[in-house]
């Protein structure tokens, strides 16, 4: 395995761990509103765009694991369809790049 391949794998491990943590933290904030906030306001949540960007940057496995483990964003089509689509694309790109680097 080349150094570039190792670097890519380390990046993917880090981005997936970060994505998993951010999804879990957002779910926690959704369930635990700030006690001094107005009734309609809760703690600042992570924007959906941020969650999707983290998945798109390579964190789709972490996003899918968090979605299922925490039951978070599982009713939103952009997550239930988008995140698995990102995973398929990321796996295809990873296989393509690793094949090119190894060859």
Domain range for 21: 11-33+45-102
Q: What's the token pair of residue 3?
A: 């150094």
- Decide if 28 is inside a domain: yes
pTM score: 0.88
Rounded Cα distance, 84 and 70, in Å: 17
- Decide if 40 is inside a domain: no
* Tens-place pLDDT, residues 50-87: 999 999 999 999 999 999 999 999 999 999 999 999 99
Q: Which of 57, 69, 63, 77 is nearest to 22 (CA)?
A: 63
Q: How many domains does the chain have?
A: 1
- Decide if 89 is inside a domain: yes
Which single residue is written with the structure tokens 């599982």? Answer: 74
């Amino acid at each position: 395995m080349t150094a570039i391949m190792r670097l890519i794998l380390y990046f993917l491990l880090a981005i997936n761990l970060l994505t998993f943590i951010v999804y879990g933290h957002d779910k926690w904030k959704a369930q635990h509103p700030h006690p001094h906030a107005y009734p309609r306001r809760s703690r600042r949540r992570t924007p959906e765009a941020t969650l999707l960007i983290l998945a798109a940057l390579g964190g789709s496995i972490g996003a899918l694991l968090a979605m299922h483990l925490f039951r978070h964003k599982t009713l939103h089509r952009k997550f239930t369809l988008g995140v698995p689509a990102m995973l398929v694309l990321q796996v295809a790109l990873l296989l393509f790049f690793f094949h090119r680097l190894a060859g």
